[in-house]
Each structure stands twice: as structure tokens, then as C-alpha cells.
Structure 1
Amino acid sequence: MTTPRSVRFEEGVLSRLDRYVKEHPGSSSSSVANMFIDESLRAYEHPGILFRPGPTGRRAALSGGPDIWEVIAALNAIRDDDPGLDGDRLTEELATVTGLSASAVAVALRYYVAYPDEIDERIAGNKDVAEREEQLWTAQQNLLRRPKA
């Protein structure tokens, strides 16, 4: 549920906001302001996190590193391969697999714990897209095969 609130913006901020809305059809000043304020507060709460645009929307990422969903997907894969790993051993393996420092892994895990639904939804969506693309690729390859005589 949203609550109306009167906020005053400096002229330069308002100009940039208007430009962003014009460049992103379907958005509004209110939705864009809400998105950027939410992202800024999340980044403030989780130093080392930033938000990147992309074809599937904006997503949380490590500054200078991968998206958070990629780190958590790697964590899930490690757990699938070796369910006995936990604690420091799991964190060390995650750092090794992703090429991240222990502190970057900690930042990613902390963000995930705060916003698991957001990250899990992104992982599930990416998995669905990958499966669909694989099915399309397989169908295309079948179409291109030479018929047997």
C-alpha cells in the first residue's frame, strides 16, 4: 500500500527525474522516485551493493562484481554438489568458485538474507528463461537436421 507524501525536489533533480521518465515509457515520476529512493536506502543499509539496469530489469549487484543472484545461484550449486559443506568451509568454497573476496561474499550473503524473495524470484525467472531458450534451440536444431532417406 502506498501513502501519499509531499516531497520537494531541487530543480536539477526534478529535471533529471522528468528526463528519466520520458526515456522509460510506462514509468511515472512517482514510480521512478520510489524505485531510486528504495535502491538508495538498500545501498545505504548494505555497503558494497549497487543496482544495475538490464534487459530483465534493475537488479542488486556487488560493486565491481557480479549480481547478487549469481552469487546465490553459485551457493545453491555448491550445496547441491556437496551438501556436507557449511559455515566457513562453504563460504571459502563460494569465494573460490566466484573469484570473490571473503568480504564481498559476506556482503552478498547479507543482502540475500535481507531480501531473499527478490533474489530467489530472479534465480527462478532466469532458470525459466534458460529452459525455454534450450527448448527453442533444440527445436531449431531438429528443424535443421537433414531428413533421413
Structure 2
Amino acid sequence: MARSTSFRISDEAKHRLDSRAAQEGVSATALLERLIIEGVDQRDFPGIVFRGPAHDRRAALAAGPDVWEVVARLQELDGSEEHRISTLSAESELHPRLVRIAVDYASEHADEVNGRIERNRASAERSRRAAEGREALLT
């Protein structure tokens, strides 16, 4: 539920907000809300950044993959949490600290991360079926 809130910001901040909102084709309020949420998450989880267009933002490691990619790979591995983190770190050259940051973010935003993992798996399955269909058609 949205509530009306009043803030005073400088003319410069208002100008920059309005300018960026116009560039992105969104309202200043929508942009401000996104910036607040992402900014708080970045403060809570140092090393997390946000990528993608306004309609499809996703959390990622600043110098690495998206959080959902880290979590999806960890889910594929066997063993304890520490063993999985060590394995992924060795595979990807991601420092274990960064993998833990991704896991911490994902645990607090499980619906968002799991939703993206499921959408990716569904997309991969559609692609697999399409490839099989093309192969069957051409044989």
C-alpha cells in the first residue's frame, strides 16, 4: 500500500531526479522509490549493485554475476553450505566473501531470486523443447 510522504529536496536534486525519470520514461516518484529501495539494499549488502532496465532490475555482485546466477549454481552443487561456496569460488574465481554476500541478499529477497531462477529454468526448458522439435522436423 502506497502512502503519501513529503520530503524537501534541493532544487539540484529535484532537477536531476526529473531529468533521469524523463530519460527512463518513468515518473519521478517511481524512480525515487526504486532508488531508495536499491540504495538501502546496497547499504545493507555491500558489494551488491543493480543492473538492467527499469522494468527488469536485478541484484548482482559489483564485479560478478547476478545474485540469482550464484544461487542457482549453489543449488546445483552437493554438500554443506561451506563446501558449495568453496566449490563455486574455485569454479568462478569469486571470492567466498562475495558468494556469501549474494547468499545473504538472496535469503532476504528469496521470492525475487527464486522467481528469476524459475523463469530462467522455464526459458531453458522451452529452448530445449524447441531444439528437439527442430531436430525431429529435420530428420
The answer, yes or no, to whether TM exceeds 0.5 is: yes
Q: In 1, distance between residues paired with 2:124 and 2:109?
A: 23
Q: In 2, distance between residues paired with 1:56 and 1:120?
A: 18
Q: What is the TM-score when the length of structure 2 is the normalising length? A: 0.86
> Deviations 1:97-120 (Å, cap 9, x if unpaired)?
332111111111111111111110
What's the offset of the Cα at 1:140? 4.6
Q: Look at both structures and tell me which one has the larger radius of gyration over its CA atoms.
A: 1
Q: Which moved more, 1:111-120 or 1:50-59?
A: 50-59
Residues 1:129 and 2:129 aligned together = no
Q: Which moved more, 1:3-12 or 1:112-121?
A: 3-12
1:92 alignment partner, SS class: helix
Percent identical residues: 30
Aligned to 1:17: 17
CA contact (8 A) 1:68 1:112 kept: yes
What's the offset of the Cα at 1:92? 0.9
Segments of 5+ residues of structure 1 without an aligned counterpart are none
What's the offset of the Cα at 1:67? 0.7
Q: What is the TM-score when the length of structure 1 is the normalising length? A: 0.81
Segments of 5+ residues of structure 2 without an aligned counterpart are none
Residues 1:4 and 2:4 aligned together = yes
> What count of residue pairs does the alignment treat as equivalent?
139
1:71 alignment partner, SS class: helix
2:96 to 98, 102, 106: 102
RMSD in angstroms over aligned alpha carbons?
A: 2.2
Aligned to 1:47: 46
